[in-house]
């Protein structure tokens, strides 16, 4: 059962890189970009995060909230955010339960090895808390700017 536009986005409460609890329901009445990424400080994840960082003023000007989620802990997130000047919250989903609720956690294969991890998926959540658009297995380059372009049609 894949999450699809119109479905209620699964609510969650996760700690950010400073230990503050962030709840999806706190952002009702705003558009939210919720992106799941595998690991802090890896090449693809850094490209994706820096893409959101570089486009962040445009997201802010449209009052769009950006939230990044991985299974890394708050300390790792804090270092990653500081190193790359990331202006948005990175949330720690230590047990992968939120990623699982968003169908973004499961068995992965890399260089012949199998392991459990996060799939690079993004969900746009509307002000009513419903999924407006999904991006599955995204490519990190240009994702933030392409998504921002799509937001114009979603928010009008």
The answer to whether 116 and 94 are in contact (CB under 8 A) is no
The answer to whether 51 and 145 are in contact (CB under 8 A) is yes
Instruction: Return the exposure string of 28-40: e unless at least 16 CB atoms fall within 10 Å of the residue's CB, then b.
Output: eeebbbbbbbbbb
50 is catalytic: no
Active-site residue among 17, 34, 45, 144?
45
Q: How far is the C-alpha of 37 from the C-alpha of 34, rounded, in Å? A: 10
User: Can you give the C-alpha Rg of the chain in angstroms?
Assistant: 14
Which H or E run includes 145? helix 143-155
Give the pair of three-digit tokens for residue 86: 């990331």
Note the residue count of the chain: 156
Q: How far is the C-alpha of 137 from the C-alpha of 150, rounded, in Å? A: 17
Looking at the annotation, which residues are catalytic? 45
């Amino acid at each position: 059962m894949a999450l699809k536009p119109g479905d209620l986005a699964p609510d969650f409460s996760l700690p950010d890189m400073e230990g503050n609890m962030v709840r999806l329901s706190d952002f009702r009445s705003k558009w939210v970009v919720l992106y799941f990424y595998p690991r802090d400080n890896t090449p693809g994840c850094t490209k994706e995060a820096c893409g959101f960082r570089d486009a962040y003023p445009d997201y802010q000007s449209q009052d769009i909230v950006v939230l990044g989620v991985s299974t890394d802990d708050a300390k790792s997130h804090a270092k990653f955010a500081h190193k790359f000047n990331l202006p948005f919250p990175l949330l720690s989903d230590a047990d992968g339960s939120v990623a699982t609720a968003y169908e973004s956690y499961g068995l992965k294969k890399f260089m012949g090895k199998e392991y459990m991890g996060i799939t690079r998926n993004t969900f746009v959540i509307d002000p009513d808390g419903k999924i407006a658009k999904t991006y599955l297995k995204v490519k990190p380059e240009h994702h933030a700017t392409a998504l921002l372009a799509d937001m114009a049609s979603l928010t009008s």
